[in-house]
Chains A and B, each alone.
Chain A
Amino acid sequence: MNEQELHDVVIEALTDVAPDIDPARIDPGADLGEQLAIDSMDFLNIVVAVHERTGIEIPERDYPKLSTLDDAVAYLLAAQQRGADA
């Protein structure tokens, strides 16, 4: 998946748990939990959804690396790359 596709996957997962948010208004550099009122259960559901759509395993200790939209996309790109290299 390219960066845009991974971006779309994250957005889709976000809007599934928070149907009221407007993707266009997400600040890609700001903390998702704070700006979108995402709690740990929402976050888990997002991680699960991303996993199901991309196959990427996200260990619990890496959760902080997905705290903003930009970070999440970058993390997924890197993880995908590691998976491909391996």
Chain B
Amino acid sequence: MSASAMVTVTYREAIRAAIREALVADERVFLMGEDVGAYGGCFGVSKGLLDEFGPERIRDAPLSESAFVGAGIGAAMGGMRPIVEVMTVNFCLLALDQIIDNAATITHMSGGQFAIPLVIRMTTGAGRQVAAQHSHSLEGWLAHIPGLKLLAPATLKDARGMLAPALADPNPVLIFEHGSLYNMEGELPADAGGCDIERAAIRRPGTHVTLVAYGGTLATALVAAEELAADGIEAEVLDLRVLRPLDDSAVIESVTRTHRAVIVDEGWRSGSLAAEVSARIMEQAFYELDAPVARVCSAEVPMPYPHHLEQAALPQAGTVVAEVRRMTGADG
């Protein structure tokens, strides 16, 4: 075995390992957020880090997203490398002024005098019955903002690898961790490290249709692809990974091979990332298309609380399969 030993980890542990590595590697790095210290993080990501690194570097913040995100921006401007945890993307709405009006603009408004090497981690998405105020996928909104970089780790490798390059980036980077992924378990090399945060990735090669997914919908797309393969339809599954700036060329190259695309997006269809990707495909690959681009998104309702309604509102593999069958004429 030339490769290093493999270890079994969860998505949560992979992120913790990445944070821990950053804390060890660079004393300017610190973690700040609600309940990240004594409680170990709302989703248990930072469990144990307070004991290891102490309250100076694992800082519990008051219940004011605007205040602690703003503090993170200030720290970044002052030369630190803060990792700010916002409990869910819904709560980041309280800090939008800080994120959009300050983090995303100061470099530009200061004529480049200030860099904002800030990382904000937040949980996104539904599926855990935590209802409408904790379940939405607002990545598309934030992807609208120039000056931000948005990452959506959907695999263990990305959960482990995206933090280091995000911290190294002089601009604010938002990392969206889908809540349904924290318990995902798998193997990673014990010495797994940083990865690129520029490019989309093909998670499953295929020839008949491109399923564009990210974060929580990657698994949905992969399940759909398996089901389609049983019908002889080979779906290529493309994981966007980087939501801003979008890796257009990866999408276009894939669609140029498959001539069809379905975008699977947990956000609402209207004004969504799915809309943006669809528009770019139309702009850049219109003459490659063999069918209109399709989108499978969340129902346009506030995310319901009851399990069956929540599932009905979310993009499901069956819907993706039906959409692909319809566009390939395989729906009989």
Q: Do chains A and B touch in the complex (CB under 8 A)?
A: no
Taking Cβ atoms with an 8 Å cutoff, the residues of A that contact B are none
Taking Cβ atoms with an 8 Å cutoff, the residues of B that contact A are none
